[in-house]
Structure 1
Amino acid sequence: MADEIRRLPNLQRFKTGNRYLRVAMAESVGTLILVLCGCGSVAQMELSGFAKAQFLSVNIAFGFAVTAGSYVSAGVSGAHLNPAVSLAMFILRKITWRLLLVYCLAQFIGALFGAGFVYLVYFDALYVYGGGNWTVYGPQATAGIFASYPSEHLGAINGIVDQIIATATLMICILAIIDRDNNSVPRGLQPIVVGIVVLLVGLSMGFNCGYPINPARDLAPRIFTAVAGWGSEVFRAGDYWWWIPVVCPMFGGAVGVFIYVMLIALHLPEGGEERRPPEYEMVVAASAT
């Protein structure tokens, strides 16, 4: 398709050679799709009273939303779609600090528009469900459609631990997926496998607070709801919970990089598959029987 588009002379004037702008556009669109489809699945579940969706379907939707957003943007920006992932790439010296800022800002903008589109798609349903009231807590609360809020049992310390471990797990798996010296996944299949990892994290660690693990995906929709009618309560709720899914995933991403580099990457044989030790072949053979 790219070759066909290049043959359309009227469109060439819109092409940019600016790397920052290309990354910004791709990350914005990819993150928009992630939030639109992911939060849209939550809206469908909540507003239908679980009649149209279940917890499992929401986790599946978020996994596929990551996959879809990644396929859209990967060819241009690498499909980070998450400031924690971008920070990890900066730590690994894959991007500069200027690009890191561009990635994070673009992801925030995309998530903001994604939340806005969910609001537009489900506006009538939100109005009927809440009786015209936009509430954060209570039986007709709808703020949780857009951003994460802690369960009643969850304290701040446990929430911090939750987000660090969940994001570190995500990052370790992502690095393994893209590491050519490890069991790397073919480039065209990487978005699918990353989506499966997101699904796995949600199914195993989604009970406490909905596994935000993405500062842009949580903060931008929260700001949107504050402006759109839910008010400043979205920041006060849960004893000012809002900062935990913003700060802790960033720290968790860095922890994931450290664990993968120190315990896995440094010990991979040079040359990839061709120079793997005999015990690796034994494990593969045993798992295949």
Structure 2
Amino acid sequence: MRSFTSIPSVHVSPLGHRPDSSQIQHTLLSCLLCVWVYMSSIDDSSSKQWDASLGMAGKDLESRKEHLQVASRKVHEDGDHVTLYPNNWSKYREYIREAAAEFLGVAILIIFGAGVDCQVVLSSNTGVSATPKGDYLSLNFGWAVGTAMGVWVSGGISGGHINPAITLAFATYRGFPWRKVPVYIFSQVMGGIVGAALVYANYFHAIDIFEGGRGIRTQKTASLFTTFSLDYLTNVSCFFDEFLGTAVLVTIVFGMCDKKNMPPPDGLAPLLLFILILGIGTSLGMQTGYAVNPARDLGPRLLTAMVGYGKGVFTFRNQYWLWCPVMGPILGAQAGALFYDAFLFTGEESIFNRPDAAARRRHLHASQEQGSHPTPVIGLYKSRNY
């Protein structure tokens, strides 16, 4: 009997005769194959679970396909085998899993974040709710939960970036493939649009009551989905606010990813991100709404323009949307990553730790003097005697 990972059963006759040795050997080999496939998948995931959850993956599709191809070649005598793809959909899905994970992660982030914004602000109107349903701390908890859940659902597949600023920082300093960057960012922005659309569909009746009439849409409720600064801030101050918040975010994320520092145990990345976002919100979030994520702002902003808020969401303060919640986080992430790598990180993948020409010449010269053959390792030459 064929199945994807089936184990042939050992048949015992009604008279109690034991199966012959070939059947037992065949069964044991099948069991060992299944255990090997399972343990290989566990070892692979456990060794990179933390890195993947914060964006260090990037080659999951290739490694997964190679692993399945090796397993599929181990065919038993009776035809039992591990199938590379059980159907056509599973084959095509391999090419979109990472993008879909980023899309879903950002959508979940916005559902929790914009959802708590709507609930807290709209419930302050007695026509919507008899009593208020939350305060500023509630807002920060909602966004922190959204971040944690978004990373939890996408981390093992795409790396759980759910933030274009994070994606660009990992591409610059951690070797994340640049060819994947446009796909990730597009998926993240689309996830922001869809997440905001779902929240808007859930609360549009309450928005009508809060605004004072059906179809009335002003900045008061647009700010439930996207960010606007307080009136006393200049655009330069707004930019610095977002720059600082994202620099703190990425510096700590890079620290948590550093295996030579104090990386947390496997599986705790979302919990630590919950604490991190809660901390940023309660300390740096008042003035601009702490976007610290271009997709979190741009996606919902596009949605508000589509549902009746008009072009005002983009013309506010001379393209505030571009310089503050988009460019501020992107440049802040680069600055935070640069600072961590320049002064703290010692891993080979960073541009700050690549050997220069003089170091390569010294290693090559030392190897030649010792009469050994130099073996290049991460740009250096490590002596190896034959």
TM range (shorter): 0.7 to 0.9
Alignment partner of 1:257 out of 324, 337, 340: 337
Is it true that 1:186 corresponds to 2:265 in the alignment? yes
Equivalent runs, 1:27-66 vs 2, <5 Å: 27-49=102-124, 51-66=132-147
**Structure 1 residues 188 and 17: alpha-carbon distance in aligned structure 2, compared to 1, 3 A threshold:** farther
Q: Alignment partner for residue 327 of structure 2, among 228, 247, 263?
A: 247
Distance of 1:133 and 1:75 partners within structure 2 = 42
2:308 maps to what in 1? 229
Identify if the C-alpha distance between structure 1 residues 234 and 175 changes in structure 2 by more than 3 Å, giving closer, same or farther.
same
Any unmatched runs of 5+ in structure 2? 1-37, 39-81, 126-131, 348-386
Alpha-carbon shift at residue 135 of structure 1 (Å): 3.1
Q: Is the 8 A contact 1:149 1:238 kept in 2?
A: no
Name the residue aligned to 2:381: none
Q: Which residue of structure 1 aligns with residue 218 of structure 2?
A: 136
Name the CA distance, whole Å, in 1 between partners of 2:233 and 2:160: 32
Name whichever structure is richer in helix by fraction.
1
Q: 2-side partners of 1:17 and 1:132: how far apart?
A: 44
Give the Cα separation in 2 of the matches to 1:93 and 1:16. Answer: 29
Q: 5 Å matches for 1:271-286?
A: none
Q: Once the 2 structures are TM-superposed, how far is the Cα of residue 72 of structure 1 from its aligned partner? A: 0.5
Whether 1:162 and 2:244 are equivalent positions in the alignment is no
Q: 1:20 to 1:260 in 2, by over 3 A?
A: farther
Matches within 5 A, 1:64-75: 64-75=145-156
Partner letter of residue 98 of structure 1? R
Amino acid at match of 1:152: D
- Of residues 84, 98, 120, the one that matches 1:23 is 98
Instruction: Give 3-state SS (helix, strand or coil) of 2:190's partner.
Output: helix
For 1:166 and 1:193, the matched residues in 2 are separated by 16
TM-score by length of 1: 0.85
Paired residue secondary structure (1:135): coil
| Aligned-partner residue type, residue 170 of structure 2 | M
Secondary structure in structure 2 of the residue aligned to 1:15? helix
Shift of 1:15: 1.6
1:58 is displaced (CA, Å) by 0.7
Q: Which has the higher contact order (CA 8 A, sep 6+)?
A: 1
Partner amino acid, structure 1, of 2:188 = Q
Query: Which residue pairs with 1:77 in the alignment?
Result: 158
Indicate whether 1:88 and 2:172 are aligned: no
Asked if the contact 1:20–1:99 (Cα under 8 Å) also holds between the matched residues in 2, the reply is no
Distance 1:134 1:104 in 2: 32
In terms of mean alpha carbon deviation, does 21-30 or 123-132 score higher?
Answer: 123-132
Structure 1 residues 192-211: Cα deviation after superposition (integer angstroms, max 9, x where no partner): 10121111111111111100
Shift of 1:20: 5.0
Q: Distance in 1 between matches of 2:281 and 2:95?
A: 32
Q: Which amino acid aligns with 2:317?
A: G
Runs of at least 4 residues off by over 4 Å: 17-20
Q: Which amino acid aligns with 2:146?
A: A
Q: How far apart are residue 14 of structure 1 and its match?
A: 2.3
Deviation at 1:238, TM superposition (A): 3.2
For normalisation by structure 2, the TM-score amounts to: 0.64
From 202, 205, 209, give the equivalent of 1:124. 205
Distance 2:229 2:216 in 1: 18
Q: Deviations over 1:171-212 (max 9, x none)?
A: 001111121111101230011101211111111111111000
% same residue: 33
Aligned to 1:277: none
Find the partner of 1:100 among 181, 187, 201. Answer: 181
Displacement of 1:264 in angstroms is 1.5
How many residues align? The count is 260
The root-mean-square deviation of aligned C-alpha atoms, in Å, is 2.3
Aligned to 1:148: 227
The letter of the residue matching 2:153 is: V
**Matched AA of 1:225:** T
Larger radius of gyration: 2
